[in-house]
Chain A
Amino acid sequence: MKVSMEKISYSYGRKAALTDVTASLPAGSLTGIIGPNGSGKSTLLRILGYVARPASGRVTYDGADISSMSPMGRARLIGAVLQDQGTQFPFSVEDVVEMGRFPYNGMLGRPGRRDTEAIQKAMAMAGVLGLEGRQITTLSSGERQRVFIARALAQEPKVMLLDEPTSHLDISYQLEVMEILKGLAALGTTVIIVMHDLNLAGLYCDRLIALKEGRVVSEGRPDDVLTADNILEIYGVRAVVKNNPETSRPGIVMLTPSSKP
């Protein structure tokens, strides 16, 4: 599903969080939103799910304005995984994934055959089959993150939004999560990820949106966005960017403030 942002602006009180953000993401693309802390990445993600309402501008999904959809209707199109949520109570893995069916069968719905199938499929895709009876509170962070991805997939979304899904994970889990998301995009789901790790972003994303102080500084293919000049402008950090011959993807080495390029 094609996701378009048209001149989105948002502010917290008087402070502008986003200004005139415009971008268009084709169906089945894997997009990374990058930028320094406080640049409006997470706010943009919330606006894309209409959990935060933009002050001006609009978001459309295949041309349909998101603000005209019902909350349940939106949840059937958009799945999301936010950071560090949902581990207060020891729900079983199966119960957590089953909650992803809420937008389909609502407050009273008894899970039917369609739901069971969607749950099984979601668990298989996220690689959490076999964990059904485990309590969410006893899982490792990597396993837990995959369970939350499975829960979002159970919503059978056309668009997946993820807020730093790889933070707190070791490198093998990071790759595991990114592989799941890459597979998802290959099946046609539009995946949008807020990320901090530029190498991971360069390695997996088809497109990047770089934000600074709520404005789009650079947008496009990772090769074009992840340049030494851009990194200096966005983060104020000097870096060397080389095309990695193994992956033919941009590889970034940060320079410490004292070292010369």
Chain B
Amino acid sequence: MPRKRAAGSLIAVLAVSVVVLMVSASVGTVGVPVAETLKSVAGCLPESIRTALGIGKADPAFDAIIMKVRLPRIILGFAVGAALGAAGACYQGLLSNPLADPYIIGVSSGAALGASIGIVLTSSSMAALGGAIPLFAFGGALVSMILVMALAQVKGKVQSESLLLSGVVVGSFIWALVSFTMLAAGEDLPKVMMWLMGSLSARNWGHFAMSAPYIAVGIGAMMLMSRGLNVISMGEEQARFMGLGVEGFKKAVIVACSLATSAAVGVSGIIGFVGLIVPHMARYLTGPDHRVLIPVSALAGGALLVAADTVARTIISPAELPVGTVTALVGAPFFFYLLRRSRREGKSGK
């Protein structure tokens, strides 16, 4: 039906995303003119195309800043935000719960435990944050997801309520273990804290290569299942009457969301609020049809996280805030505003 609205909102978020990416790449401790940023990015194109388009070579100093420092961080931030936005939209639809977010089934606590164990074990340099830690976090997240799924199953069926409850229970149990490793962390404690607050600081292309495939597969699978999410939001029993294999479908959605979220959490730490607010914004923009909502949430999530990270790394430059604090500081009041606004309009589920 409102195909125009769908296309319009997709184009709008896409345009906003591109602008945010460009601006974010240009601002920082060293300002880079937007033209230089564009030239740097165009450097990826083959020589022949560049000469044909009349694009000159970028200043080497700027080129290094853009390609080695900023762009990896920005692109990684975009991928992480996209994963959180899309997974949040899926969980809210699947569980018919507007408060669901990507961490709702305990993925964040599992990742935190994995990361803190990794930090304590490897205990060496900050460089270790690059190599092994994301793998530890990713592993921890997947283990907690499997644990929550197993606990929530009764006779092979995953009930939404028991999923939420076991997510909370497993989450608190694992957080206790995280506190325990923090006590054992000694002088590594600041690193653990930094990771828990969520940060994109000092990330490189390696992080992107590590997480992007899982995020892409996860979001791709979510988009393939989007029509089923529409059907299941008519009520689970009703969805069965409409031909949807509800049990298998729910598990498939949870696995897809957990995969993307775990990969994101692994490289970024726990960044809150993006996965909660973005789907609400996207639903406001484009309506509840998951076929459009998921891509719009992914793009908006990416743009929002990159914007927040730009603030995080510039506002007290040359020092940095963890981006998780920025998203929480901005996100909580904004969420409250959305809530009030939807209450005033008397619409549920926004």
- Whether A102 touches B243, Cβ cut-off 8 Å, given contacts A88-B96, A90-B349, is yes
At the interface with chain B, which of A19-27, A131-139, A174-182? A131-139
> Which of B240, B245, B283 is in CB contact (< 8 Å) with A89?
B283
Is A87 at the interface (CB under 8 A from chain B)?
A: yes
Interface residues of B in 237-260 (CB under 8 A from A): 237-238, 240-245
Inter-chain contacts of B349 with A (CB < 8 A): 88-90, 137
Q: Are A51 and B241 in contact (CB under 8 A)?
A: yes
Is B64 at the interface (CB under 8 A from chain A)?
A: no
Interface residues of A in 72-105 (CB under 8 A from B): 72, 74-76, 78-80, 82, 85-92, 94-96, 98-100, 102-103
Interface of chain B, main secondary structure = loop
Q: Are B243 and A90 in contact (CB under 8 A)?
A: no
- Whether A75 touches B241, Cβ cut-off 8 Å, given contacts A90-B350, A91-B288, A92-B287, is yes
Inter-chain contacts of B96 with A (CB < 8 A): 88
Is B329 at the interface (CB under 8 A from chain A)?
A: no
Is A38 at the interface (CB under 8 A from chain B)?
A: no
Inter-chain contacts of B225 with A (CB < 8 A): 107
Q: Are A89 and B288 in contact (CB under 8 A)?
A: yes
Residue of B with least CB distance to A79 = B241
- Whether A99 touches B243, Cβ cut-off 8 Å, given contacts A89-B283, A91-B288, A137-B348, is no
> Which of B224, B234, B245 is in CB contact (< 8 Å) with A99?
B234
Inter-chain contacts of B46 with A (CB < 8 A): none
Q: How far is the CA of A75 from the CA of B234 in the complex (A)?
A: 15
Q: How far is the CA of A152 from the CA of B289 in the complex (A)?
A: 19
Q: Are B347 and A133 in contact (CB under 8 A)?
A: no
Residue of B with least CB distance to A97 = B1
Q: How big is the B interface, by class?
A: 20 to 34
Q: How far is the CA of A82 from the CA of B237 in the complex (A)?
A: 8
Inter-chain contacts of B295 with A (CB < 8 A): none
Q: Are B242 and A91 in contact (CB under 8 A)?
A: no
For chain A, the count of residues having a C-beta within 8 Å of the partner chain is 41
Residue of A with least CB distance to B288 = A89
Interface of chain A, main secondary structure = mixed
Q: Which of the listed residues B1, B233, B241 has the most CB atoms from chain A within 10 Å of its own CB?
A: B241
Q: Are B348 and A88 in contact (CB under 8 A)?
A: yes
How close is A46's CB to chain B, nearest CB, in angstroms? 7
Q: Are B347 and A137 in contact (CB under 8 A)?
A: yes
- Whether A85 touches B287, Cβ cut-off 8 Å, given contacts A71-B244, A107-B227, is no
Q: How far is the CA of A51 from the CA of B242 in the complex (A)?
A: 10
Q: How far is the CA of A75 from the CA of B85 in the complex (A)?
A: 32
Residue of B with least CB distance to A92 = B1
Interface residues of B in 210-236 (CB under 8 A from A): 224-225, 227-228, 230-231, 233-235
Inter-chain contacts of B348 with A (CB < 8 A): 87-88, 90, 137
Is B93 at the interface (CB under 8 A from chain A)?
A: yes
How close is A163's CB to chain B, nearest CB, in angstroms? 9
Residue of A with least CB distance to B98 = A88
Q: Are A71 and B245 in contact (CB under 8 A)?
A: yes
- Whether A107 touches B238, Cβ cut-off 8 Å, given contacts A74-B243, A88-B96, A102-B244, is no
- Whether A96 touches B243, Cβ cut-off 8 Å, given contacts A87-B348, A90-B350, is no
Inter-chain contacts of A78 with B (CB < 8 A): 241
Inter-chain contacts of B240 with A (CB < 8 A): 49, 51, 71
Q: Which of the listed residues A91, A106, A151 has the most CB atoms from chain B within 10 Å of its own CB?
A: A91
Q: Are B234 and A108 in contact (CB under 8 A)?
A: no
Inter-chain contacts of A190 with B (CB < 8 A): none
Q: Are A99 and B242 in contact (CB under 8 A)?
A: yes
If A86-B233, A90-B347, A133-B2 are given as contacts, then 19 extra A-B residue pairs at C-beta distance below 8 Å, sorted by A number, are: A71-B240, A75-B241, A75-B242, A76-B243, A80-B241, A88-B348, A88-B349, A89-B283, A89-B288, A90-B348, A91-B233, A91-B289, A96-B234, A103-B243, A107-B225, A107-B228, A108-B227, A133-B1, A135-B347
Closest 5 pairs between A and B when the two form their complex, measured CB to CB: A75-B243, A85-B235, A89-B288, A103-B243, A86-B234
6 interchain pairs (CB within 8 A)?
A51-B237, A76-B243, A82-B237, A90-B349, A95-B287, A98-B1
